Structures are given as C-alpha cells and as structure tokens.
Amino acid sequence: MGMKRGTTLAAAVIAVALAATACGQADDKVADPAKPAGAASSQAPAADGAAAGGAKAAGQLAIGDNAEIGSILSDSAGLTLYRFDKDTAKPSKSNCEGDCAKTWPVVAAGDVTAVAGMDPALLGEVVRGDGTKQLTVAGWPAYRFNKDAKAGDTNGQGVGGTWFAFAPDGKKAAKAAPGAAAPAEAGAGLSVAKDPKLGDHIVDGKGMTVYRFKPDTAWPMVSKCVGDCLTKWPVVPPVDKANVKGITERNYLVLDRPDGKKQQTVDCWPVYTFAGDKKPGDINGQGVGGTWYAVAPDGKLITVQ
C-alpha cells in the first residue's frame, strides 16, 4: 500500500514530529548517569484525508490507553478504529455493506502512517465489493463507529458481540481478566536504583537489575532473545504504569512475543533480568557477550564496564 510522501509543509511537520517520537531513534549512546530521564513527548496527529466515495483515510495512527479495554488504535483525529468478527483476515474480506457501512464507516486505504511501536507491515488494504480500497490491520478491515463523537470514544466496543476496537497488534482490544497473568510479587514494578559503577539504572520489583539486548530492535519492537536465551535472560513481564517510579513513560508498551509471552518494553525496547544475578544490587549481566547492558531511567543502554 502506498504511504503519503508529499513535500508540503504539513508533511514536513509530521516527519519532524515522528522523528522526535519514533521508537529507537538515536538510542544506544552511553547513558550519562548525571542526566535525568527524558520527559514523555507528545505527537500531534495529522489531519484526516478523504478518499473517493467519501470514506476517510486514517492519516497518522495513534495508540490510546482506555481504562476499561487497554491499548486501542485510533486515527489522526483520535477516533477509535474497529474490526468486525464477521469479516475475515486470511484472506482479507469485508462483510459490512449497505446500512452496515453507514453505521460503521469504512477507513479508506492510503494516507496512513504506523504509530511508533507498531509494525508497519501490519497495515494493508482490501478491495471492497464496490471497488474502493479499505485499510486493513493485520488483515482485518478497519472501520469507525458513527456514534463515536469525539477522540477517545469507544461506544462501538462489543456492539452485537461482533465489533471490537483494534489493539495496536491488530487483535481485539481487551484487558486481561484479573488473575489471567502470573501473580505478581508484592511491590512488583520498575524503579531506579543507584550503583557506584553504573549510576542510576532500572530495577524490577525485587530490586533485580534490568537489562537490554543490543540485537533487539525498537522499531518495530522485536526481541532476538528466544529459546535457551530466555533461560538465562527472563523477560520482564508487563508492569502497570502505576507501579513505575522514576523512569520514562514514553513509548511504555507491552510486546506480544511470538512464543506467547508478554514482555514489558521501555521506550519500545524489550527488557529482561539475568539469571546470574542472585540478589538485589547484582550487576553480573553487565556487558555479557558485549551485547547485554543495564538500562538507564530514560531507556538507554548503560555501556560503562
């Protein structure tokens, strides 16, 4: 699918905004322990574009946090994007026509940009019965709901038991039911500890040092630590922002791993602990293999030895 690459002033402004907030940009520098963690940045959405037939394109996508259903995908105006259970993703096909499409306006293909932390490969298009092209996310046709009046509205969630907001990975937005995840340790979370050698660095709820793996990527979010690697370097499970103290909350997202585990990221970078650290304060994983390093409060690597 084509992405809009105009040279207008608006496009230039968008490009600058994206460069400033994209995951993994200008990272991997030695963190300066004397500098505080960077503040979270905001990203102004682009204006919606209109497509043939009156359908509107999505523009710059965004990720919002809904207290009831978790992370949701929205268009440049902040309107929630939805998927329909009666559609199919493989192959992509829309089964919402006529009056259905009046209640659930289709999102036109084209003029769309993935949000930081989202895999651009998830975006695609499907040709509808009338010949127009509709945006797809992970193969699922995308819609808006005509009863959502303002940014952040999710009035379409669960309608008829078949309509659901998109999560950033293309799945249905839904918070895990209480008790669905492994029980957390008392005081579980992420915070900042100080070490004479490393300076300020992130630790988990047990006080164990948190690490990053250099081969990983933040754009898109990908963990290269798989199989036996995870025995030595367990993933940090999702941590609610309410249990985060002193670290950046910018691009604080959860990675859905191919192995089914969910992993916390800091500024879109997957984070881990080290099995070789036996007690709080240990930093035995620092520099291992020239690829594993502790994490500064702003999400950057601490590469001092």
CB-CB contact of 192 with 245 (8 Å): yes
Q: Are 75 and 81 in contact (CB under 8 A)?
A: yes
CB 14 within 8 A of CB 76: no
pLDDT score, position 54:
66
pLDDT > 90: what percent of the chain? 60
pLDDT of residue 154: 95
32-42, pLDDT tens digit by residue? Answer: 443 433 333 33
pLDDT at 11: 41
Mean pLDDT computed over 260-264? 92
User: 47 vs 303, which has greater pLDDT?
Assistant: 303
Is residue 48 pLDDT above 90, yes or no? no
pLDDT, position 23 = 58
Q: What is the pTM for the complete model shown?
A: 0.46
pLDDT tens-place string over residues 268-296: 999 999 999 999 889 999 999 999 999 99
Q: Rounded CA gap, 189 and 124, in Å?
A: 36
Kindly report which listed range (65-69, 78-82, 146-150) carries the lowest average pLDDT score: 65-69
Q: How confident is the model at residue 57 (pLDDT cuts 50, 70, 90)?
A: very high
CA-CA distance, 247 to 193, in Å (whole number)? Answer: 11
pLDDT of 18 higher than 80:
no
Which range of 46-50, 82-86, 175-179, 241-245 scores highest in mean pLDDT? It is 82-86
Would the pLDDT of 51 be above 50? no
Examine the pLDDT at 100 and tell me if it is beyond 80. Answer: yes
